[in-house]
Structure formats: C-alpha cells, structure tokens
C-alpha cells in the first residue's frame, strides 16, 4: 500500500492483512509508513504502536535488515522528543528475539526426544554402525536446522541495537544494559568468535565517542557516572572473557579498564579493584609471566585485607599463594635467548606497560616482591610447607640436599590444584639455586653426580637432557658460568677472577666471597683505607677542610639578604606571569568555545543536508522499487498467460526480458504454433485421403463377395424367423381356441342374467 495512508489507520490495515495470512504485505506496509517523510511529523504516541507491531513482524518473519532500517529511522525521529519510546521498542525487539530462540530450543529438544522410540533400549554394535552412515537427524543437526538461524538473528539483533544506541548520552543506560546482555548471550551459548567481535565493536564505539565530543548528546567521559557505567561494562566483559578462557581478549579488557581508570576523577570501588587484580593474576599465570603474576597476587592479597575481613584459613591460603608465586619466579628466564638493542627496548617497554596496569611506578623484581612479602609478615601466616620451601631456597645453604628436602614439599603442593600450578616454575628456581650453591663449593663435578642430586620422585623427575638445556640457557643469560665437558662427562665452574659472571648473584645465599668479587672490590677497599688514613694522620688536610667549611658558612651568612630579596622579586615575576597566563588561557578558551559553537552549527547544517539527501534518495529508491514491482507483476502476469496457452519460456530468460519482449515472444510463438498446426492439418488430411482411397480400392472386390454372403445369410435368417413366426401364430391360435371353448360354457348364464336385468 502507498505510504500516503494515515498512520492512524495503518495498524487496522496491517491487522486485516494478517487476518488473511499476508504477513509479508503487512510488514511492507508498516515499513513504508515508518520510512515515509510524512511520518516525521507524526506524534510519537501514534507511531510507537506501529513500531511495536513492526518489530514483532520483523522477528516473526526473521527480517533483520528491514528491522535495522526501520529502527534507525525511528531513532532519528524520536531521539529528540521521546528517548523512552526508543528504549521500549528496542527492548521489545530484543525480548521477542530471545523468546524465539527459547522456542526453537524447546522445539529442537522435542524433536530429539520424539526420535527416541524406547528409552530403555541399549546401544548395540549394529545400531552404532548404522548411526555413522544413516541420514537421520541427530541433536546437532536438529540444532543447526532449528536453533542456529534464530541464534544468528538474536546476535544480529544485539549488534543492531548497540549500533543504534552508540555515542548518545541519553541512551547510554540501555546501551550498557544491552552490552551486558550480549555478554551473557556469548557465555550461555559459548560463542567465542562473536564475543571477540563484540569486544572489538565496543572498543570502536568508545574510540569514536572520545573523538566526536562536539556532536549533540555526545558521551562525556569526564562525567563520573558515565565513566562508572563504562567501567562496569568493561568489568563484565573481563569476567566473561575469563570464563570463556579468551585470555587475549581478557588482557585487552584489562587495558581498557586501566585506560578508563586513568581518566576517572573518582576513585574506583575497592570491590571492583579486587576483581581487577584477581583477573590479572589469572591472565599473567596463563601467559607464564610469573613475575607480574606474583606482583598481581600481592596487590590482590593486600586489597582483600583492606576491603573485607578474612577468616584465618582464607588469610593463610592467600598469603601462601603470594609467597609461593614470588618464590616460583624463575631466576633465569626460560624464554628463548634474544640479543640486540631492539629486543631489549621492546622488553623494557612491555614491562613498563604491564607495570602501569598494576599501578606500579617501575617494573617489579623477584627480590623486591620477596622483600615486600616479608616486610608485611606473610611468613607468619603461610602454610608450614611454604615456609619450609622459602627457608630452603632463600635462607639455608645446602647444595647436596636441597632437592631431597624439597621433594616432600612438592608432594604436598600437588595435592592442592591451586598450588600445583607453581611446580613447573619451581623446578627452574631449584636448579638455579643448586648450581649457584655448587659453584661456591666446587670447581668441577661429574655430570652423573649432579643428576643424582636432582633426584625428584615421579612425576616431578628431571631428565639429564633437561638439566643440560637449563645450563646452556643459564650461560646464555649470564646467570651461570659452567662448562660441560662431554669427553669426561663433567661440569666445570668458571674460576676466572676477571670474568663478569653472575654465578653468585645477590639473590643467592653466599657461603664466602668468590675470587671474582675479591678482585672486583680490591680497589674500592684500598680507596676507603687510604681516605681513613688521610683523615687521621695529615693535619694540613684536616685544617684545610675546616677552613673551607668556615669560608662557606660566612658566604652563606652574607648572602642571605640578597637571596631573600631575589626570592621576593622572583615571586612577583612568577605571579605576574601566572596572571598573564590565566588571561591568555581564558581568551584561548573563549576562542575555542566560539569555534566549537561555529563548528557545531556547521555540522548540524551538514547533518540536516545529509538527512534531506538521504530521504530524497530513499524516496527515489522507493518509487523505483514500486515501478520495478509493477513491471515484475506485469511480467509475471504475461508469463502466466503464456504458460496457460502452452507457450514455453526458456529458464533464466524471464528476469532479463521486459513486457514488450514478452509480447513479441508471445506473438512469435503463437504464429509459429498456428503455422505448425496448419501444416500438420494439411499433412494429416492428405494422408487420410490417400488411405481412404486405398481402402476403397481394396474394398470393391470384397464388397461383392460380402453381398453374396449377406444374401444367403439374410435368406436363412428370413426363413428361420418365418418358421418361428408361424409356430408362434399356431400356438397363439390354439390357445385362443381353448379359451373360446371355456368361455362358451358361460354363455347361457350370461343370457339369463341379461334377460333378468332387462325385465327389472
């Protein structure tokens, strides 16, 4: 129907079409009314019921693109007058889509149950083999056929609503609620790909919001409430990413949260930050970044202690995780060795970036994390085996028994799933401490002896190949100074006093100074001794130092007044410059405000021009569509007439032909058909004429014979019928004679009765 129909009568007309099962025509009618130019002046109270019915039909017929176009148009019409109406329509759109998904799931479950004939029947080998090659619908096929189309429609509905609501401060609350519903959708149906796309979509919306601050109803991230809503949404996104185990998206969500926290002028909620650091610990642990995992665990533990009281068991468990994560930080990095200035700068930039996420001014280290944990008295709250592990690795010196003492501790750790995650990095720490302590006692060792020292029970055993790889990696990193001699199967610890090895680093327990340290500190110790000797023996040096101090004191006393005067002058100059800067800043702000107002007017004018151009193009497209529909209807009508007349149309040619061409084809086919019929009639008449002539020629001699036969047959038949007639006549005559004789006996009685009647 044309769009000039009054909106008040649209619903009535749509209901009439629905009553005769023409839902598609009803939807097109509503769509034309909604996108019509005249609808812009229609009151929202009259337009809202039309939109609600429109979205119901769009969901019913699964017309997502049509719904998107109509919702965009309605948003442009109602966003300046009735924001609540937009929210009602969009909420109805989402709710109907959810209902369709639930109905599809119930239908799929019912189909799956209907295919089961006997619930007590067991699977046989024959039935299993048949199921692998049969074409019966399994539950997966049923879900793909019934549920998947509606899941796609619901996902597109979420995307459409988010695109419509984006970058509008008046619709921001529903935007955040819809985003959270989309996260729940991805969680419920385990849609990881859609979750990545959703995160990217929200990220793009936030970037565009920060750029388009001059638009009408633009989102202001400086507003604390707006920023808090964005933070809540990003935390919901972070929780969903962790639950879906999409760690890369979780890390990006953490970066988004950190960016918003730096913008925020309001301090974040403690419970929110507890969740933030908890998710960071999981992300860093999955990425095998044990250093920042331990830092995040420490921040998480401290914040939990500040926000809410914990029981003794909870505090002990949390403290144990903090200390164990710090101990498990590998002293030697297990990553591949990378040399070069570019890689060093890249690693430094990465550490600065990760430190910023944790709110740290500089990158943490293993020693600093252990020192911080000890300063807060964590050792008194950790589990006994964790305390013993710390004493063995960081305090005691026992190179020959370190592995034997740690083995029972590892057996205790493996019983707890949360603590068992640190066993693998603990191997690296144990091996590092073993070789650091051995290097302080021995010059060389047999490799077999070292392998016996690294004797862990299964499944924690370490192979000789792993030990050798660890030594090579430690030497590359400069943490170890060991040479392996495969000829005599031995290890040699470097003893060059001029080497720069870190074999006995500051983090390791030292039994005695190494030769390298003795040589490296010889000059400094000599300088300290000479300085102390000069201060005690040389009187001239002592008097010169005292005179220099006295002269400096006199200069300071004499220059106090001039310095005070200079300070006052400098203060006045600073105040004058501040006033000038404020004046310049105020003038600049006024100029910028005027420019923003002018730019806003220009953008509004350009937007109105663009909208008018879009409406004009949309109207032209509608007229073109109507003309095409009329032409298509006429073509279909002509084609149906041609088919009813028996005229064939080549497949695929109907779409490329117009009505004139179809008429030409009809005339041509009719003329050709008439000629064919005339020619066939002529040939048929000629053939029948010749055949009849041949029949008659062949019939002439046979007719005479048949005539003679017919005469004899007719004569015999005549005689037979004559004889039968005579016999019948005789029989009838005899019967009548007998009747006459019987009736003759009644004549006297008749005459007597007659006479009696006459004389009465």
pLDDT one-digit tens code per residue, 48-92 = 888 888 888 888 888 888 888 888 888 888 877 778 888 888 888
Report pTM.
Answer: 0.59
Identify the weakest region by mean pLDDT among 116-120, 405-409, 585-589.
Answer: 116-120
- The whole-chain average pLDDT of the chain stands at 79
- Per-residue pLDDT band for 514 (boundaries 50, 70, 90) equals low
- Predicted pLDDT of residue 2: 44
Share above pLDDT 90 across residues of the chain, in percent, rounded to a whole number: 4
- Per-residue pLDDT band for 120 (boundaries 50, 70, 90) equals very low
| Tens-digit pLDDT profile for residues 127-149 | 555 455 444 445 555 555 667 88
**Average pLDDT, integer, range 710-734:** 92
- Cβ neighbours of residue 413 closer than 8 Å, sequence gap 6 or more: 324, 385, 419, 420, 422, 423
User: Averaging pLDDT over each range in 74-88, 152-166, 496-510, which range is the top one?
Assistant: 152-166
Identify the weakest region by mean pLDDT among 97-106, 338-347, 466-475.
Answer: 338-347
| Tens-digit pLDDT profile for residues 636-658 | 787 777 777 766 666 556 666 77
| Tens-digit pLDDT profile for residues 521-542 | 777 878 888 888 877 777 777 7
Q: In what order do the strands lie in the sheet with 490-493?
A: 444-446, 490-493, 482-485
**Average pLDDT, integer, range 394-420:** 82
- Per-residue pLDDT band for 5 (boundaries 50, 70, 90) equals low
DSSP string, 227-260: HHHHHHHHHHHHHHHHHTT-HHHHHHHHHHHHHH
Give CA–CA dist 282/254, Å, rounded: 12
Higher-confidence residue of 610 and 41: namely 610
**Average pLDDT, integer, range 692-697:** 89
- Per-residue pLDDT band for 339 (boundaries 50, 70, 90) equals very low
Q: Is 311's pLDDT higher than 90? A: no
- Predicted pLDDT of residue 505: 47
What phi, psi does 494 have (nearest 5°)? Answer: -65, 135
Higher-confidence residue of 163 and 125: namely 163
Q: Is 320's pLDDT higher than 50? A: yes
Give CA–CA dist 141/445, Å, rounded: 65
- Predicted pLDDT of residue 453: 82
Identify the weakest region by mean pLDDT among 29-33, 448-452, 454-458, 604-608.
Answer: 454-458
Give CA–CA dist 254/231, Å, rounded: 10
Q: Is the backbone peptide bond immediately before 459 cis, with ω within 30 degrees of 0?
A: yes
- Predicted pLDDT of residue 717: 92
**Average pLDDT, integer, range 292-315:** 83
- Per-residue pLDDT band for 734 (boundaries 50, 70, 90) equals very high
Helix/strand/coil percent split, the chain, to 5: 75, 0, 20
- Predicted pLDDT of residue 117: 45
Element (H, E) at 493: strand 490-493
- Predicted pLDDT of residue 134: 46
Element (H, E) at 444: strand 444-446
Higher-confidence residue of 118 and 188: namely 188
| Tens-digit pLDDT profile for residues 354-387 | 877 777 778 888 888 888 888 888 888 888 888 8
Give CA–CA dist 26/15, Å, rounded: 8
Give CA–CA dist 658/664, Å, rounded: 10
Helix (H, G, I), strand (E, B) or coil at 266: coil
- Per-residue pLDDT band for 518 (boundaries 50, 70, 90) equals low
Helix (H, G, I), strand (E, B) or coil at 492: strand
Give CA–CA dist 69/156, Å, rounded: 13
For tokens 């990425």, what's the residue? 287
- Predicted pLDDT of residue 389: 85
- Predicted pLDDT of residue 336: 40
Per-residue tokens: 463: 């192979």
- Per-residue pLDDT band for 125 (boundaries 50, 70, 90) equals low
């Amino acid at each position: 129907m044309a769009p000039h129909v009054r909106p008040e009568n649209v619903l009535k007309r749509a209901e009439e079409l629905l009553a005769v099962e023409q839902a598609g025509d009803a939807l097109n009618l509503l769509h034309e009314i909604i996108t019509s130019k005249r609808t812009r002046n229609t009151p929202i109270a009259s337009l809202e019921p039309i939109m609600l019915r429109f979205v119901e039909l769009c969901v019913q017929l699964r017309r997502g693109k049509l719904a998107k176009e109509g919702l965009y148009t309605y948003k442009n019409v109602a966003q300046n007058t009735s924001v609540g109406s937009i929210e009602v329509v969009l909420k109805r759109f989402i709710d109907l889509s959810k209902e369709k998904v639930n109905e599809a799931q119930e239908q799929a479950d019912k189909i799956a149950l209907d295919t089961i004939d006997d619930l007590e029947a067991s699977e046989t080998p024959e039935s299993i083999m048949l199921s692998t090659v049969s074409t019966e619908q399994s539950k997966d096929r049923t879900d793909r056929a019934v549920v998947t189309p509606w899941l796609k429609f619901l996902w597109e509905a979420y995307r459409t609503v988010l695109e419509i609501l984006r970058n509008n401060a008046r619709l921001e609350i529903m935007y955040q609620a819809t985003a959270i519903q989309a996260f729940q959708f991805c969680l419920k149906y385990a849609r990881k790909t859609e979750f990545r796309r959703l995160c990217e979509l929200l990220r793009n919306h936030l970037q565009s919001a920060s750029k388009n601050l001059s638009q009408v109803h633009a989102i202001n991230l400086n507003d604390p409430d707006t920023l808090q809503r964005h933070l809540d949404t990003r935390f919901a996104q972070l929780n969903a990413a962790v639950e879906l185990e999409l760690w890369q998206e979780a890390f990006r969500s953490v970066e988004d949260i950190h960016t918003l926290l730096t913008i925020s002028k309001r301090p974040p909620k403690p419970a929110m930050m507890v969740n933030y650091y908890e998710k960071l610990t999981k992300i860093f642990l999955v990425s095998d970044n044990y250093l920042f995992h331990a830092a995040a665990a420490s921040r998480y533990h401290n914040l939990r202690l500040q926000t809410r009281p914990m029981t003794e068991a909870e505090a002990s468990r949390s403290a144990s995780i903090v200390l164990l994560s710090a101990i498990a930080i590998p002293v030697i990095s297990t990553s591949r060795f990378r040399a070069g200035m570019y890689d060093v700068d890249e690693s430094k930039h990465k550490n600065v970036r990760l430190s910023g996420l944790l709110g740290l001014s500089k990158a943490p280290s293993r020693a600093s994390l252990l020192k911080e944990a000890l300063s807060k008295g964590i050792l008194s709250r950790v589990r006994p085996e964790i305390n013993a592990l710390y004493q063995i690795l960081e305090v005691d010196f026992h190179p020959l028994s370190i592995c034997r003492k740690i083995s029972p501790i590892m057996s205790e750790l493996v019983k707890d799933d949360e603590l068992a995650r640190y066993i693998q990095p603990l191997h690296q720490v144990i091996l590092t401490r073993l070789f650091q302590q051995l290097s302080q006692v021995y010059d060389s060792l047999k490799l077999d002896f070292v392998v016996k020292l690294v004797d862990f029970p299964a499944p924690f055993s370490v192979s000789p190949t792993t030990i050798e790889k660890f030594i090579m990696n430690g030497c590359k990193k400069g943490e170890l100074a060991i040479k392996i001699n495969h000829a005599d199967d031995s290890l040699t610890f470097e003893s060059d006093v001029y080497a720069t090895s870190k074999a006995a680093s500051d983090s390791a327990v030292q039994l005695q100074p190494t030769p390298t340290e003795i040589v490296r500190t010889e000059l400094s110790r000599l300088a300290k001794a000479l300085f102390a000797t000069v201060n005690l023996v040389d009187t001239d040096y002592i008097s010169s130092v005292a005179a220099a101090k006295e002269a400096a004191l006199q200069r300071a006393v004499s220059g106090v007044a001039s310095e005070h005067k200079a300070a006052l002058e400098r203060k006045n100059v600073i105040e004058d410059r501040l006033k000038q800067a404020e004046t310049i800043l105020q003038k600049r702000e006024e100029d910028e405000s005027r420019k923003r107002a002018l730019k806003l007017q220009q953008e509004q004018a350009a937007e109105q021009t663009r909208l008018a151009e879009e409406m004009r193009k949309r109207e032209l497209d509608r007229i073109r569509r109507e003309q095409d529909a009329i032409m298509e209807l006429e073509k279909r009508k002509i084609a149906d007439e041609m088919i009813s007349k028996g005229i064939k149309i080549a497949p695929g040619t109907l779409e490329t032909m117009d009505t004139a061409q179809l008429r030409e084809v009809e005339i041509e086919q009719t003329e050709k058909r008439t000629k064919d019929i005339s020619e066939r009639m002529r040939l048929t008449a000629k053939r029948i004429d010749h055949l009849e002539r041949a029949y008659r020629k062949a019939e002439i001699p046979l007719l005479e014979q048949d005539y003679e036969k017919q005469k004899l047959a007719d004569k015999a038949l005549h005689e037979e019928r004559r004889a039968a007639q005579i016999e019948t006549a005789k029989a009838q005559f005899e019967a009548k004679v007998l009747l006459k004789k019987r009736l003759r006996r009644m004549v006297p009685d008749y005459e007597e009765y007659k006479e009696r009647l006459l004389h009465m």
